Amino acid sequence: MNDTWTIQAALDWTQGYLERKGDENPRLSSQWLLSEATGLSRIELYAHFDKPLSMGERDTLRAYVSRRGSGEPLQYITGEVGFRHISVKVKPGVLIPRPETEVLVSEGLAALPAPPKRIAADAFESDALRESDGRPDAAHGLAGSGLHGGGQDGAPEDAPEAQPVDEVIPEERRELLVADLCTGSGCIACSIAYEHPETRVIATDIASEAVSLARENAEALGLSDRIEVLEGSLGEAVPSGLVGSFDLVISNPPYIPTAVLAEIPKEVADFEPSLALDGGDDGLDLFRPLALWSARALRPGGTLAVELHETCLDEAAAAAKDAGFAVTTIVEDLTGRPRVLVARKGCGECEDGR
């Protein structure tokens, strides 16, 4: 390359180099790496094609390109990945979050009671406008809308009193208890706590590197007061006093059948921890004890949601029913493959467990 490295020249060189190294998407990889090296967004890169790179940026880019050329995942190089509505830190030794796991989180959240909705002052005004066919004069001051109670203004005497303008205060609700087993980076625990403010999450992992990273992510997102990360296999580290009180047990355990591991991309096999991938001969070595523990840990009517290999879902559903779950559902991932098992514990109020 020329002595002066412009952004365009660096992009072209990086893309060509990674293409020769067998990168599946060299253009995207070059954009990610240059964005990380320069601190510019991908859009800003294309708006500043003629901007020269500093010597420090050039050295950083060279190091990144060398790592990517050897097959290292982009997420480990940049140290961060977007997941649903948050970003989490990732590092070698801990599984990289994937889009399939976002589907798992969606199913877990759907199994919980919805969080209360805050209703702002403008919502009252909007309701009044709708009730008055959109006539601002009829809604002005809410005098005739029935929101300010009865009196000499002509509103009905029994009209309900307006709530405070900042929010409607919900009825007393209990904290929802969630167990995230095999938490890895903590992306599941953090997403649930971030998206549902009434949850408290107990997260576990057998790997000390994962425990440390999950705690770091919870703290960075301001969620460490509602997420506790414990080291141990599956539910072994969960305090016994909590068993029987969980509303949701959710997990992305090692689930790839051992024979299938030989077929996964080299980028995954060479860099991501096999401890977080290998699910045994049929992919269910961890699922079976997980289902048995969950059947004891969940309160009546609670839900187990687990991400599994597409070849294992039917057998997993049968194992869940053997463990005592009343209803099981198989959910497809974004590519249409069976991916998530959702199993509900019977409430014991009727014969079919529903």
321-344 pLDDT, tens digit each:
999 999 899 999 989 999 999 999
User: Do residue 110 and residue 137 come from a single domain?
Assistant: no
User: Do residue 291 and residue 321 come from a single domain?
Assistant: yes
C-alpha closest to that of 15 among 36, 3, 31: 31
String of b and e for 259-274 (b: at least 16 CB within 10 Å)?
ebeeeeeebbeebbbe
Computed over every residue of the chain, the mean pLDDT equals 83
Token pair in block for residue 63: 């190091």
* pLDDT score of 348: 64
Whether 2 is in a domain gets the answer: no
Check whether 25 is labelled as a binding-site residue. no
User: Do residue 329 and residue 288 come from a single domain?
Assistant: yes
Check whether 253 is labelled as a binding-site residue. yes
Token pair in block for residue 316: 């997993």
Token pair in block for residue 107: 């199913």
Q: Which domain holds residue 23?
A: 7-71
Token pair in block for residue 11: 């992009």
pLDDT above 50: residue 158: no
User: Do residue 163 and residue 202 come from a single domain?
Assistant: no
User: Do 188 and 202 form a contact (C-beta atoms < 8 A)?
Assistant: no
Beta strand pairing call for 298-307 and 227-231: unpaired
pLDDT above 60: residue 231: yes
* pLDDT score of 140: 29
User: Do residue 21 and residue 138 come from a single domain?
Assistant: no
* Secondary structure class of 345 (helix, strand, coil): strand
Cβ burial, residue 339 (10 Å; 0-12/13-18/19+)? buried
User: Do residue 154 and residue 267 come from a single domain?
Assistant: no
pLDDT above 60: residue 159: no
User: Do residue 293 and residue 153 come from a single domain?
Assistant: no
Whether 79 is in a domain gets the answer: no
Counting the structural domains of the chain, the total is 3
* pLDDT score of 118: 52
DSSP characters over 172-204: P-PPEEEEEES-TTSHHHHHHHHH-TTEEEEEE
* pLDDT score of 267: 78
* pLDDT score of 172: 60
Rounded to an integer, what distance in angstroms lies between the CA atom of residue 331 and that of residue 340?
A: 5
User: pLDDT band for position 293 (50/70/90)?
Assistant: very high
* pLDDT score of 347: 77
- Neighbour tally for 164: CB within 10 Å: 9
170-198 pLDDT, tens digit each:
546 679 999 999 999 999 999 999 999 99
User: Do residue 127 and residue 242 come from a single domain?
Assistant: no
Whether 148 is in a domain gets the answer: yes
Q: Which residue has the higher pLDDT, 177 or 268?
A: 177
Question: Which of 19-33, 84-98, 127-141 is predicted least confidently?
Answer: 127-141
Check whether 197 is labelled as a binding-site residue. no
Rounded to an integer, what distance in angstroms lies between the CA atom of residue 319 and that of residue 98?
A: 26
pLDDT above 70: residue 143: no
Domain boundary among 138, 169, 200: 169
Question: Which of 22-31, 124-133, 247-256 is predicted least confidently?
Answer: 124-133
* pLDDT score of 135: 33
Question: Does an H or E element contain 294, and which?
Answer: helix 287-297
Domain CATH number, residue 48: 1.10.8.10
pLDDT above 60: residue 227: yes
Whether 299 is in a domain gets the answer: yes
User: Do residue 226 and residue 302 come from a single domain?
Assistant: yes
Whether 82 is in a domain gets the answer: no
User: Do residue 161 and residue 18 come from a single domain?
Assistant: no
User: Do residue 340 and residue 207 come from a single domain?
Assistant: yes
Whether 25 is in a domain gets the answer: yes
The whole-model pTM stands at: 0.79
Rounded to an integer, what distance in angstroms lies between the CA atom of residue 42 and that of residue 53?
A: 15
* pLDDT score of 352: 42
Q: Supply the angle between the helices 208-220 and 187-195 in degrees, to the nearest 10.
A: 30
Rounded to an integer, what distance in angstroms lies between the CA atom of residue 150 and that of residue 153?
A: 7
Which segment, 115-124, 135-144, 343-352, is predicted with the most confidence on average? Answer: 343-352
Whether 60 is in a domain gets the answer: yes
Domain boundary among 149, 169, 189: 169
For the sheet with 338-345, list strands across it: 227-231, 199-205, 176-181, 246-251, 298-307, 338-345, 325-332
Phi, psi for residue 122 in degrees, rounded to 5? -70, -20
Query: On the CB side of 29, how many CA atoms lie within 13 Å of its CA?
Result: 27
Whether 96 is in a domain gets the answer: yes
DSSP 162: P
232-247 pLDDT, tens digit each:
999 999 999 999 999 9
59-78 pLDDT, tens digit each:
999 999 999 999 999 999 99
Domain CATH number, residue 259: 3.40.50.150
* pLDDT score of 24: 85
Token pair in block for residue 2: 């020329």
User: Do residue 104 and residue 196 come from a single domain?
Assistant: yes
